[in-house]
Chains A and B, each alone.
Chain A
Amino acid sequence: MAQQANVGELLSMLDSPMLNVRDDVTAVFKENLNSDRGPMLVNTLVDYYLETNSQPVLHILTTLQEPHDKHLLDRINEYVGKATTRLSILSLLGHVIRLQPSWKHKLSQAPLLPSLLKCLKMDTNVVVLTTGVLVLITMLPMIPQSGKQHLLDFFDIFGRLSSWCLKKPGTGLLIYLLGPVSIMFSRFICVVTCISTSFLFIPMMEHVRIHPELVTGSKDHELDPRRWKRLETHDVVIECAKISLDPTEASYEDGYSVSHQISARFPHRSAEVTASPYVDTQNSYGSATSTPYSTSRLTLLNTPGQLPQTLSSPSTRLITEPPQVWCQLATLWSPSMVCGMTTPPTSPGNVPPDLSHPYSKVFGTTGGKGTPLGTPATSPPPAPLCHSDDYVHISLPQAAATPPRKEERMDSARPCLHRQHHLLNDRGLEEPPGSKGSVTLSDLPGFLGDLASEEDSIEKDKEEAAISRELSEITTAEAEPVVPRGGFDSPFYRDSLSGSQRKTHSAASSAQGTSVNPEPLHSSLDKLGPDTPKQAFTPIDLPCGGADESPAGDRECQTSVETSILTPSPCKIPPQRRGGFGSGQPPPYDHLFEVALPKTAHHFIIRKTEELLKKAKGNTEEDGVPSTSPMEVLDRLIQQGADAHSKELNKLPLPSKSVDWTHFGGSPPSDEIRTLRDQLLLLHNQLLYERFKRQQHALRNRRLLRKVIKAAALEEHNAAMKDQLKLQEKDIQMWKVSLQKEQARYSQLQEQRDTMVTKLHSQIRQLQHDREEFYNQSQELQTKLEDCRNMITELRLELKKANNKVCHTELLLSQVSQKLSNSESVQQQMEFLNRQLLVLGEVNELYLEQLQNKHSDTTKEVEMMKAAYRKELEKNRSQVLQQTQRLDTSQKRILELESHLAKKDHLLLEQKKYLEDVKLQARGQLQAAESRYEAQKRITQVFELEILDLYGRLEKDGLLKKLEEEKAEAAEAAEERLDCCNDGCSDSMVGHNEEASGRNGETKTPRPSSTRGSSGSRGAGGSSSSSELSTPEKPPNQRAGPFSSRWETTVGESSASIPTTVGSLPSSKSFLGMKARELFRNKSESQCDEDGMVISSLSESIKPELGKDLGVEAKTSLNLDGPHPSPPNPDSVGQLHIMDYNETHHEYS
């Protein structure tokens, strides 16, 4: 509680007049706020403020820091709900917001915003609405993005307010609402182009440029949070201002291309905010006059095709536009055309100036039309795009009111332009002298002050004073500068420029003299002056129907129109409109816009008075009176002021229209006071808003200034660079000079060189020529040389030939000489021989003589001797022959014998082979025979066995025995015969062997045993031996028996035939001999005795074998011839044969 009380105390102390105390308390509050986070203190402060409207508290509240914002907003929200506190809390909110607290971004989230919107939707109090809308407008740029969610609310409010304005046009205070609403509209258009266009703000469209987003953007894009993130509040404001066509709002700073061009062309006008009443109030005449022009101009430029609609003011409607203008205008276009608007609404900012200056140049030129003066059709075509001082032209018609010029103008626009130029200059020249007519910026404060003093309206006095003060501050600051401080936005910027320009113009035109211009004091505003134009354009049709009126009437009409327009009273407009432009169809918002700038009243009063003064001056001038007295002027001013005021008062919807209460000190009625208070409040609010805007602009201006400074620095830098460049250029020049020198020198040198070269070339040429000559010569010489060589070779050849010839001849010579010598020698020999012959002849003769002398005894003896020798020789020769012959024969013999020997050897070999053959043959046969013999033996054995078997049986059987025996004997006989043959054979062989050995008388036979046996058998003749022979293998006991005797007998019998068998042997022998003989006879035909010897010895060597073989042979032959009886006298034959053999043998040996 103590705290509370303390707070109360402190609060009360805040309002203390002591500055120190106030500061202290403020500090204490701030400390508290810093330390305390609770809502209480803030709430208390808000409450207190609402109660007392205390400025320090407001200050504290507006500087609240972060944590308390919520409390503050909550509190405000609370109070917004209550109708009673709504207005004051809204103003507090406006204060807070305008200061742009650091937490401004929270505004969109705070519950305050919806409640504010709600309030705006619900409330019907114009003051509250206006304040709220202003707050909202201020707030919107701060929350461009987050405000989107309430977009529809905004539109609702907008729609409501605008329609409300339409519905209740009569309400005086509503006009205050119009301004904020239009601003709101421009905001919408800027921020959410597409959405707002789709939201049917079409009627307001002509007050904004077509936003590029309308083409490129989309609704989604507009709601994109990124779009506004990087922009600050003032950026958003400027962004909005860019698209606004409203002079109060519009900005041309780096705007769109068209506006840019225009702004460049009319720098002092482009940023004009004439529509704004505040600005207007402070504007000089120039600015004021130029304003409508520029605005209309802008409108014209931006909305070319839409001209009728754009010039929505009724005045324009009536005018018939000349086609040429339209042609030119056709190149331009307007957003309203795009929107397909047919009913052109007028912007609130636009219309009043139009109306106030219906005969402004633009309209005059483009269609002139709006003005009752009817300048338009004849006025020069705008040609605005090419000339920077177009405004001058435009202002011309009024200035150049002379008939000839008029005609010219009608003929062609071109000359007019030039003339206009001059005229402008003239006019400019006139301006400075005009003390009141053209007020320069520097003069403005004072002028305003005068005006203010003259003004009798108490309510407006204060404001005026404040404004003028502020303005004076600015203007003083801007008095010096050539470079304007203010931004392009600033109305002052343009003013100062225009002022300065004007000065220059005047300076320029002063030289030309003013004689041409009938109105030396013509200011730009003068052009609007009704007098001159009226006069000038009277012949032309006047659309307002006052064409036939006298200039005076015209003027009156004009003035009345002007005043009526200029006065913010809505009541006056309708009649004026009605009178001027009957056919004009007012767009739904028109009336609202007209009254949207209400407070311009006093300000227009001032202007009016000025105009009037000027007119008066003009009149005086026309009349030949150079000037009026200041007193008169003052009087007139007062008069005008009174008129204006009365009109103003009439405008106001005051219940009682007592005339006296204002100017004459009467107490005003309470109703009026309340109304005025409201108005004042509204004005204050608007002012605050404007100030906020200006702050934003200032902020921006500062930035731009920084840019400008930077640019300046860069320019300086640039200049420095240029200096450097110049220096360098100088250097370059120097270098160039030196280069030229060098080049000259070089060329000189080159020339020298060239000459040298040419010389040398000529020399070379000469030398070459010489060389060629030499070359030719040498070639000639060479050819000659060659010829010579050829000749030499030929000669050599010839020489050779000659040499050859010589040699040949020499050879021949030598031969010849040899021959010669030979012949000589032969001759000599011949001679010698001849001589010898001679000598020999002589000797012969001599010998012959001697021979003849000694011939007789020696010849016989010699002959004998010779014969003896001859014989001896022959004898010896024959002996030798004999010897050689013997030798030959013996050798032949040897050879013969040798060959014989070889033959014999061969024969021997063949014999051997043959013997081998025979032996083999015999062996084979022998083997066969042996096998047969064996078989026989076996057979015999078998038989014997059989016989023995049979005997055994016989002995058993007596009778049968004898029979058996006989049979056995018969078999025995057969067998014995065989055995006998065998024995005989062997015997004969043995005998033969004996005989052979005996006969040869040499070596004994190789078989002594057989010989012995045979001899034994012969000698003994016993059967035992024969039995032994026949059956050697058989045991003797088998032989022993009764048959043995018989066996012997048969042997004995058979032995008688043995000799025959033996005797037959020689035949076999002879066969052998025959064979041998055949062999020998075949192989060697002529056989000497020696040969036979050899063969005999050879045959002896093989005798034993032969003997053996012979034995076998004999046996076989015996066997073969066995059964046959041997031939008779075998012995003799055998003897003979043996003898024969021996003989032959002997023969051989």
Chain B
Amino acid sequence: MTEDSQRNFRSVYYEKVGFRGVEEKKSLEILLKDDRLGILPPHHESHAKVMMYRKEQYSDVLHALKVIRFVSDATPQVEVYLRMYQLESGKLPRNSSFPLEPEDEAFLAIAKAMEEMVEDSVDCYWIIRCFVNQLNTKYRDSLPQLPKAFEQYLNLEDSRLLTHLKMCSAVSKLPYDLWFKRCFAGCLPESSLQRVWDKVVSGSCKILVFVAVEILLTFKIKVMALNNTEKITKFLENVSVL
């Protein structure tokens, strides 16, 4: 504690970077100790073993699904992922023909986007699974707050746009699901999505709000030109096409 008076002059810089302490080793350790999605432990030595577990688990589940004939080779990979996830979370429907829940849709969207990013199916499954898990657990409380935050930030950035949206009564009907539940899967190109999801994975779900606000600001003129709720929504849902 006596060091406090003669603190390292670099401490300010360290604090900026995110290090609380002066000893970078410790701080780095702390930082690195934080596992991201929890797929692999921070210890490198156990990676191989854990990875083997993961693979086995994946194959087991897949096998099980195949055994019960829930999936076949013809089943699209994304759906396979979904079924696996359902199975693991105990939500596997009795029949595959049962209609999908909205969260399943979101999963599918995310999986589809992720599938393009990751080649290996095991990794892909695990990443999808953990990502969705994180959304459903870690951000369960904050995700519903996001639309409000979005309004707030939009008001700060461009109140006119917000008023325009409000006038069109489009505020409540904006594609919040697409933005906050699917995390822009299918809405943004892959490279952008990677960066956004990196942030999301790192623990910030507010990035979603900013991205949404930025999308609106980018297409402000076009949005302002539209005065129909449906049109606006439709336009915003198809941003990636543009």
Contacts and interface: CB of A to CB of B under 8 A. Distances in A.
B88 A935 contact: yes
Contacts of B50: 924-925, 928
A974 to B, nearest CB: 11
Contacts of B56: 932
Contact of A925 (B49, B57, B90): B49
Contact of A939 (B53, B60, B89): B60
Nearest to B63: A939
Contacts of A920: 41-43
B41 A921 contact: yes
B1 interface: no
Given A925-B50, A943-B67, A946-B68, A932 B41 contact: no
Contact of A938 (B38, B43, B88): B88
Given A920-B41, A920-B43, A942 B53 contact: no
B43 A921 contact: yes
Grouping DSSP codes into helix (H, G, I), strand (E, B) and loop, the A interface class, with mixed when no group exceeds half, is helix
Given A931-B57, A942-B92, A924 B64 contact: no
B61 interface: yes
Contacts of B112: none
B88 A921 contact: no
A672 to B, nearest CB: 150
Contacts of B68: 942-943, 946
A488 B40 CA distance: 163
Contacts of B67: 943, 946
For B43, B53, B56, B68, which residue has the most chain A Cβ atoms within 10 angstroms? Answer: B53
B54 interface: yes
A924 B61 contact: no
Nearest to B129: A931
B57 A932 contact: yes
Given A925-B53, A929-B53, A942-B68, A936 B43 contact: no
A941 interface: yes
Nearest to A935: B57
B88 A924 contact: no
B45 interface: yes
A942 B41 contact: no
Given A935-B60, A939-B61, A943-B68, A927 B90 contact: no
A805 to B, nearest CB: 70
B42 A924 contact: yes
The interface centre, meaning the residue of A923, A932, A943 with most chain B CB atoms within 10 A of its CB, is A932
Nearest to A933: B57
Nearest to A940: B64
A921 B60 contact: no
A942 B40 CA distance: 26
A1034 to B, nearest CB: 14
B145 interface: no
A917 interface: yes
Contact of A932 (B45, B46, B60): B60
Interface residues of A, number: 21
B87 interface: yes
A934 interface: yes
A93 to B, nearest CB: 123
With most chain A CB atoms within 10 A of its CB, the pick from B35, B57, B89 is B57
Given A935-B60, A939-B61, A917 B54 contact: no
Given A923-B41, A943-B68, A934 B88 contact: yes
A927 B41 contact: yes
Contacts of B65: 942
A932 B53 contact: yes
B125 to A, nearest CB: 11
B132 to A, nearest CB: 14
Nearest to A917: B43
A931 B90 CA distance: 13
Contacts of A931: 53, 57
Contact of B46 (A921, A939, A941, A942): A921
A946 B49 CA distance: 31
Interface string B26-61: 000000000100101111011001100110110011
A512 B54 CA distance: 190
B61 A935 contact: yes
Interface string B86-100: 011110100000000
A938 B87 contact: yes
A927 B130 CA distance: 13
B70 to A, nearest CB: 8
B43 A924 contact: yes
B57 A942 contact: no
A927 B65 CA distance: 23
B38 to A, nearest CB: 7
A921 B42 CA distance: 8
Interface in B88-127: 88-90, 92
A935 B56 CA distance: 10
A944 to B, nearest CB: 11
B69 to A, nearest CB: 9
Nearest to A939: B64
Contacts of B40: 924
A942 B64 contact: yes
Interface string B67-88: 1100000000000000000011
Given A932-B60, A942-B68, A924 B41 contact: yes
A939 B87 contact: yes
A923 B61 CA distance: 22
Given A929-B53, A938-B87, A921 B45 contact: yes
Nearest to A971: B67
A713 to B, nearest CB: 119
Contact of B54 (A928, A934, A946): A928
Nearest to B61: A935
A176 B90 CA distance: 181
A853 to B, nearest CB: 85
A928 B35 CA distance: 13
A931 B39 CA distance: 10
Most buried by A among B38, B50, B67, B87: B50
B92 A927 contact: no
Q: Residue among B65, B67, B68 with the most chain A CB within 10 A?
A: B68
Contacts of A935: 57, 60-61, 87-88
A938 B45 contact: no
19 contacts: A917-B43, A920-B42, A921-B45, A924-B41, A924-B50, A925-B41, A925-B53, A929-B53, A931-B57, A935-B60, A935-B87, A935-B88, A936-B57, A938-B88, A938-B90, A939-B64, A942-B65, A946-B67, A946-B68
Q: For the complex of A and B, list the 3 residue pairs with the smallest distance between their C-beta atoms, beginning with the closest.
A: A924-B41, A939-B64, A928-B53
Given A917-B43, A938-B88, A938-B90, 16 more contacts: A920-B42, A920-B43, A921-B46, A922-B46, A925-B46, A925-B50, A927-B41, A928-B50, A932-B54, A936-B60, A939-B87, A942-B64, A942-B65, A942-B87, A943-B64, A943-B68
